[in-house]
Every structure is written in C-alpha cells, then in structure tokens.
Amino acid sequence: MIKKTKKIFLKKNTKIYILAPASTFTGGPECLHQLAFYLKKIFKVQTLMYYIPNETKRPIHKNFKHYKIDFTNIIEDQKDNILIMPEHYEYLKTGLNYSNIQKIIWWLSIDNYYGFKFRITNKKFTRSIIKIPYNFIEFFNKLTNFYFGIFTYHDYLKMIYRIFNLSKQKEITQASSHLMQSYYAYDFLKDKLKNLYFLFDFQNKKLLKSSRFKKKNKANLICYSNKSNKFIELLKKSSNKKFIELKGFTSNQMINIFKKTKVYIDFGYHPGKDKMPREATLFDNCIISNYKGSSKNKLDIPINKKFKFKQKYNELNNLNQTIENIFKNYNKEIKSFMKYKKQILNEEKVFKRQLKEIFRMS
C-alpha cells in the first residue's frame, strides 16, 4: 500500500483553481467538478474552475451547473493558492505559465497522458514515421486473427515512452504532489514520483438514483464499450447473440440500455478506473473485461478472473461459453458482482474521507 505522506495545508485565503475542458460532458470533467464541489464544501475555501479554451463564452456544461462552482479567466499566481491539473498534456503545459502557485496533478489516467503528449509534441509526419513498426504489428495481428493477442496503439506508446524519465519531464516536475484515481496509476508512478495520494472518484447522484429502479426481467442482450478494440468484432462474428454498441446515446438512453442488458463487455485500454464498467455494475450487468491498463489488477475492476480474457483467438470459445452461462444462470452469476457493486455505492464516502486525508486547514 501507499506510504504515508504529509498533508497539503490550506489557509483561509487560499484559492484553489481546477483546470477542466470547457463545455464538455465526459467522465474526466465530471471528476474535476466533483473535486471542486467537495473542496469548497469541506474546507470552505474559494474553489474556482479554470476552463480551457479560456476564451469560451459559456464554458460550464449544463450537466455540471448543479455543482454551483464559479469559474475564472485569471489565475492568481501566489504561493498560498493551489492549481489542480488533470494529467492531459495540454493542461500541464498551461500550468507551466505559473511559477509561485502550488501545483497538483490528478492522474485520472496514465495512457492518456502519453497519448496526448505524443500527438501534441510531434508533427503529423513524425507521428506517422514512429507509427510504422506498430502498423506492421497491427497488420500481422489482423492476418492471424489476433492469434497472439491484442497489442494496442496505447501499448505501443507506453513502450516508447518507457525510455523517458518522468521525474525529468518539466510538465511533471512542476507539481509538488500527485493524486491517483486508480491503483493502476499508483503502480505506474510509485517508483517515479514522490508525494502520492489516492483520490478515487464516484458515480453521480442521478445514476445512483436511477439504479434503484431496475427492470425485473432482463433480456439476453450484450452491451459493450465503444472504446473496445477490434477483438470485439471477432467475438460478434463468432456469436449469434445480440450486441449493442454504447455510442451516441444520451445519459437516459444509456441507463435504459443498462437496465435491460445482462452483460457489459469492455475491451478498451482502461487508462484509469473507468466509469462505464461501474455504471453497468450498478444496473446489475455481469462485467467481462480484458487485462489492459487498470483492468489488469484485482482492485480497479475487482471481478473474478473467469470474467477477464486475454483476447486471443483461441479464447473465443471460452468467452462465448461464459456469456451463454451468464444468460442461462443469470441470477446465480450476478451474485459474483455484488461486492463490486457495494464498493461502487460507497465511493462518495471514500472520496470525502480521502480528501480529508490529503488536505488540512492550517
């Protein structure tokens, strides 16, 4: 487990600025607004959103207005103030414009840091050259129907960036402390950086409330993350089951899908503790995942290993049998996910406790 670190002290005059994308409604921005809400509520300090692009006229997405967090176009660069940045490279670059303010990085993902840094710091031609070896690997994988397993573009970028020392990257060294949204982030950062703190996010109240009203008779349906890699296409071709890709739906439509499906599949790269597997679990879906990113450990997606697959061609039969078994014995199989569901229902309480462990009024 993580070793004890010193608390981050706040003063009555401290202003906390949190960087976030303007007019955007996804999991990451929601985490940042949740953080702002509870920093303001617990510690009674002025907490402000700083949106990027900074010149956006209406930067607060309608789904975040209920948090009632003010925003600003100016960051006061003073030593008693705090700037919290998500790990996205563009936001870390913004932090480099300030030299006095205390800076904190919240690692909502690992893979996305490298992915965005690669795109922003390299021109299109350079990226295409660097990508050539991966293109050969991808071609071979397709040729063999992923006989040896999936090797994603994010796997490739992580392999490239392993040669870089995080403790020497100026966008990283500007921060005095680091918050980790997943155990995956901790495992990756623990030998590279100092002053690490766990800070897990939680599901919003609308979702939690909706999950209390379930459909009694679920159908033999499978929904899957639109971020799943190409292995899902092989699975669909080998199966006679009905699949629903979770793409282009509103929040209410997603909830209605989760209410009627029995299985949720996520073969994505899991850059952090993903929200969608937790959402599906709340609505009593059996989760099937892979061994990528945060799904590789037993804590971020804590499901029985029989529901995690290596995504090799010879696993397709086992995967189809697992789905068939869930459909036939759903009431029995769903019990395997009740501990995970209980953990999700307790997330907000854990989040508040962790904030109190990280910050203290001086």
Please report, for the domain that includes residue 186, its CATH number: 3.40.50
- Give the per-residue pLDDT at 135: 92
**For residue 133, is it within any domain?**
no
Separation of alpha carbons 245 and 229, rounded Å: 12
Closest by Cα among 161, 158, 152 to 134: 152
308 strand-pairing partners: 289
**For residue 351, is it within any domain?**
no
Residues 67 and 166 in one domain: yes
State the burial class of residue 350 (Cβ atoms within 10 Å of its Cβ: 0-12, 13-18, 19+): middle
Rg of the chain (C-alpha set): 21
SS3 103: strand
SS3 48: strand
> How many domains would you assign to the chain?
2
**For residue 224, is it within any domain?**
yes
SS3 247: coil
Residues 188 and 279 in one domain: no
For residue 251, what are the contacts with CB-CB under 8 A and spacing of at least 6? 63, 206, 207
Residues 177 and 279 in one domain: no
- Give the per-residue pLDDT at 1: 47
Of 199, 224, 258, the last residue of a domain is: 199
**For residue 30, is it within any domain?**
yes
Separation of alpha carbons 105 and 199, rounded Å: 11
Separation of alpha carbons 145 and 230, rounded Å: 10
Contact 263, 323 (CB under 8 A): yes
State the burial class of residue 274 (Cβ atoms within 10 Å of its Cβ: 0-12, 13-18, 19+): buried
Tens-of-pLDDT digits for all 362 residues of the chain?
465 578 999 999 999 999 999 999 989 999 999 999 999 999 999 999 999 999 888 999 999 999 999 999 999 999 999 999 999 999 999 999 999 999 999 999 998 898 888 889 889 999 999 999 999 998 998 888 888 888 888 888 888 877 777 778 899 999 999 999 999 999 999 988 999 999 999 999 989 999 987 767 899 999 999 988 888 999 999 999 999 999 999 989 999 999 999 999 999 999 999 999 999 999 999 999 999 999 999 999 999 999 999 999 889 999 999 999 999 999 999 999 999 999 999 999 999 999 999 999 98
Residues 195 and 294 in one domain: no
Residues 190 and 322 in one domain: no
Residues 254 and 340 in one domain: yes
CATH of the domain at 306: 3.40.50.2000
| Tokens linked to 127 | 């990226």
- Give the per-residue pLDDT at 221: 98
Of 199, 230, 265, the last residue of a domain is: 199
User: Cα dihedral sign for 326, 331, 332, 334?
Assistant: positive
Residues 339 and 212 in one domain: yes
Residues 186 and 261 in one domain: no
At what angle are helices 338-345 and 347-358 packed, to 10 degrees?
50
Q: What does the buried/exposed string (b/e) look like for 146-174 if buried means 16 or more CB atoms within 10 Å of the residue's CB?
A: beebbbbbbbbbbeebeeeeeeebebbeb
- Give the per-residue pLDDT at 19: 98
pTM, 2 dp: 0.93
What is the domain extent for residue 165? 8-123+160-199
- Give the per-residue pLDDT at 2: 60
Backbone angles phi, psi at 128, to 5 degrees: -65, -35
- Give the per-residue pLDDT at 339: 96
- For 342, other C-beta atoms within 10 Å of its C-beta total 10
Contact 87, 271 (CB under 8 A): no
